[in-house]
Amino acid sequence: MVYWIMKTLTLDEYADRASSEPDEYLIDQFIPYPGRVLLIGPPKEGKSFLGLQLGLAVAKGEPFMGRKSRKSKVLYLQYDTPHKIWMKRAAKVRGHGLSFHPNFVMLDPADPSYKKKLDLRTNADDIKYVKDLMAEIEPKLVIIDTLRKMFSGDENSSDVGQEVFNNLNEIFEKQAVVYIHHTHKLSPPPGQKIQARIKPVDALRGSSFYSGEVEAVYLLLGNQLISDSRVDESSTEKLEWDKITLQWKFPDAARSDKHREKLRKLYASRQWENWFEFRKYVMHFDVSIPDHLINQLESELSASPVPPAE
């Protein structure tokens, strides 16, 4: 009898694999590729507009919130709002100066093969339909608006959540996916104070299973984008809604760019023993620089040559 023995790795060998499997992003340390994130918020908070801007940034290869993006094809699956309203919305933002790009595509609702409803939990035909779309369109980023319109069943059930994400993960194996989703009611129970910082993973509506299946949860709430992320430091970014252009603006982006340039110059100014030494120095001597910005530059700076010691 022949016995098959599973190969094992020492912890050093396991850790060494990290250098041979570098992380990839469509938006630097914001949208992993392939990967999955949740963009959540209360109704009518502007999630779809933010999703549109995010997708167009990737389609054009332009920065988003000060982060570099990788120019890629984007598919926006819109199942939350009647298409007539969405078409008027698109025409309106274009008329207010937002430029589009052919890399950003949507399904044609007038096409005879277009499916008006999807159930990616129980309907095998719907699963095949979306798989065929991925094979034909070949998007690198898929934005789903909204997650709840993609499946049937009790969204509070972890069993339903597991069934849904098992299928979603198989369908979008080679894509980055942004799932737009709603929060539950964020008012605190009677007698309790409002949290100073609402944790996105606690705010999302439905089963907590969802947050375990994604790399990051981004909460759009009250002109802030609050993040709980496995690919970056958790942070809170200020946003401003421009009623004239109908776009979100990111006032922190310019300041973040100055911080990044400052970090680049500091790193190049001397030879550091390792990245940890540099990070510790910055966190101790310049507390004005947010932790998440230092983290964002790690792969760039730690791979760049440093001047020789004097």
- Per-residue pLDDT for the chain (310 aa), expressed as one digit of tens each? 667 788 899 999 888 887 777 789 999 989 999 999 999 999 999 999 999 999 999 999 999 998 889 999 999 999 999 999 999 999 999 999 999 999 999 999 999 999 999 999 999 999 999 999 999 999 999 999 999 999 999 999 999 999 999 999 999 999 999 999 999 987 655 555 555 668 999 999 999 999 999 999 999 998 999 999 998 888 899 999 998 888 999 998 888 888 888 888 988 888 888 888 888 888 888 877 877 778 777 877 776 654 444 4
Distance of CA 284 to the CA centre of its chain: 30
> Nearest-CA neighbor of 248 among 228, 224, 216?
224
- 138 phi-psi bin (left φ>0, alpha ψ -120 to 50, beta other): left
> Nearest-CA neighbor of 290 among 209, 235, 225?
235
The Cα 308–Cα 272 span in angstroms is: 10
Strand order in the sheet with 35-41: 104-106, 74-78, 141-145, 176-182, 35-41, 216-221, 224-229, 236-238
pLDDT of residue 308: 44
pLDDT of residue 300: 75
* Domain locations in the chain as residue ranges: 23-250, 254-302
Q: DSSP for 130-198, please give it.
A: HHHHHHHH--SEEEEE-GGGG--S-TT-HHHHHHHHHHHHHHTTTSEEEEEEEB---PPPTT-PPPSS-
| Whether 76 contacts 107, CB under 8 Å | no
| Whether 136 contacts 150, CB under 8 Å | no
The Cα 75–Cα 177 span in angstroms is: 10
> Nearest-CA neighbor of 181 among 221, 145, 142?
145
Mapped onto helix, strand or coil, the DSSP state of residue 217 is: strand
Residue burial 239-264, b: 16+ Cβ < 10 Å; e: rest? beeeeeebbbebebeeebeebbeebe
Cβ atoms < 10 Å from Cβ of 28: 22
| Whether 237 contacts 225, CB under 8 Å | yes
**Backbone φ, ψ for residue 181 (5° rounding):** -150, 165
> Nearest-CA neighbor of 250 among 65, 98, 67?
65
Whether domain 23-250 has CATH 3.40.50.10190: no
pLDDT of residue 193: 58
Residue carrying structure tokens 């898929």: 142
